[in-house]
């Protein structure tokens, strides 16, 4: 299939965050004809160290701008100064637990920020067809599944948390700007990501770091909530493919086909830590597992049907859960300075999401 969109200058919002920084690194390394402009407000989860070395390595092909996607004047200047033909929109508040404790910032960033970005793109691009606005979303907009079945691109939205509700709203805005104003867009809804540079409040890096320290491994409820896990590099490849070859106006689900209960996932991490970072007393890491009060509105099961992206674009994940987790554990153990900088200030491993 021939490319339908050939990006030259890509504006990546939220590029200093977890998935965003991995995508920026992927794009710069895989396409020498592309320039990347990163816009990030550097809130608690945006970390300039995630992009360290890119300016020296890629020179004029890489530029970082600190700023808020809700700042309409800044967005207008940025489009006028850098002339992006492509937007990849990662910028979002993304942690369900934090949305329970403080939903207002999720409404502001995820809904109002997406609106501002859409308006800026529309004003800058007019009726051009050689441009693309790609919006990165989540499977959480679909709500909770029963014991069988999987989310498809046509599954009705049924969000359970302030986070997923704000992402659902932003998805609807993107589709509306395509249908009403003709803005060329694509959307992706992904399953749970994991891998390098993930902020340590999320399940997998939290378990790795607590386990390394010999601290309690808190598992919500009975640990039987099921998630599909997607290695971040596989996700970045999928987004790049949708950006270039996906049909404007279409949505593509991206998953890993790796359903696991949270408890089984934590046990897999414990086994890897027993091997790579044994506790001084020889105690198995699994003995650190403790069940704690569940999160309010905790969806029971997510699963992604990836038939469309496989059939139409030929994408499939390269990492299975065993290999991806092994790579992830190794990365965190090898980047303790990165973890310690976060744990000493912005986040100390405290419990979030109790409302």
Q: Which two tokens stand for residue 176?
A: 């509306």
- 140 carries an active-site annotation: yes
Q: Is 86 exposed, middle or buried (0-12, 13-18, 19+ CB in 10 A)?
A: buried
- Taking the C-alpha atoms of residue 323 and residue 268, their distance in angstroms, rounded to an integer, is 11
Other C-beta atoms lying within 10 Å of the C-beta of residue 80? 11
- 163 carries an active-site annotation: yes
Contact 117, 134 (CB under 8 A): no
Q: Which residues contact 295 (CB under 8 A, 6 or more apart)?
A: 96, 97, 100, 220, 221, 353
- 139 carries an active-site annotation: yes
Q: Where are the beta strands (DSSP E) in 47-206?
A: 62-66, 86-89, 132-138, 185-190, 192-194
Catalytic residue among 163, 197, 231, 332: 163
What Rg do the C-alpha atoms of the chain give, in angstroms? 20
Contact 120, 76 (CB under 8 A): yes
Nearest of 193, 175, 194, 171 to residue 183 by alpha carbon: 175
Nearest 5 degrees, angle CA 338-CA 231-CA 99?
70
Q: What is each CA distance from 211 to 216, 288, 327, 330, in whole angstroms? A: 7, 8, 16, 13
Catalytic residue among 93, 97, 139, 234: 139
- Taking the C-alpha atoms of residue 57 and residue 291, their distance in angstroms, rounded to an integer, is 45
Catalytic residue among 93, 97, 140, 319: 140
SS3 278: coil
Point out the residues that are catalytic.
139-140, 163
């Amino acid at each position: 299939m021939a490319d339908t969109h050939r990006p030259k200058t890509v504006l990546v919002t939220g590029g200093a965050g977890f998935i965003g920084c991995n995508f920026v690194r992927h794009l710069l390394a895989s396409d020498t004809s592309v320039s990347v402009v990163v816009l990030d407000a550097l809130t608690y989860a945006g970390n300039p160290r995630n992009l360290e070395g890119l300016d020296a390595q890629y020179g004029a092909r890489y530029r970082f701008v600190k700023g808020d996607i809700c700042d309409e004047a800044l967005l207008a200047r940025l489009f006028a100064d850098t002339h992006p033909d492509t937007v990849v929109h990662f910028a979002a508040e993304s942690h369900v637990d934090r949305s329970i404790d403080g939903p207002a910032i999720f409404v502001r960033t995820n809904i109002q920020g997406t609106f501002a970005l859409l308006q800026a793109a529309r004003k800058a691009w007019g009726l051009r067809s050689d441009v693309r606005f790609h919006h990165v979303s989540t499977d959480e907009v679909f709500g909770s599944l029963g014991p069988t079945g999987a989310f498809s691109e046509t599954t009705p939205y049924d969000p359970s948390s302030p986070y997923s509700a704000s992402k659902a709203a932003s998805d609807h805005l993107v589709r509306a700007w395509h249908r009403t104003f003709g803005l060329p867009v694509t959307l992706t809804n992904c399953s749970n990501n994991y891998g390098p540079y993930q902020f340590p409040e999320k399940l997998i890096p939290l378990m790795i770091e607590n386990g390394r320290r010999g601290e309690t491994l808190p598992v919500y409820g009975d640990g039987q909530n099921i998630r599909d896990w997607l290695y971040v590099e596989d996700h970045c490849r999928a987004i790049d493919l949708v950006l270039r070859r996906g049909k404007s106006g279409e949505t593509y689900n991206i998953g890993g086909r790796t359903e696991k209960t949270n408890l089984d996932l934590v046990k897999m991490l414990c086994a890897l830590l027993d091997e790579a970072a044994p506790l001084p007393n020889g105690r198995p890491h699994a003995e650190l597992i403790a069940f704690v009060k569940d999160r309010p509105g905790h969806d029971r099961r997510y699963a992604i049907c990836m038939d469309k992206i496989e059939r139409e674009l030929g994408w499939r994940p390269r990492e299975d859960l065993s290999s991806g987790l092994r790579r992830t554990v190794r990365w965190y153990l090898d980047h303790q300075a990165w973890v310690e900088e976060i744990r000493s200030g912005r986040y100390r491993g405290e419990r979030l999401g109790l409302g």
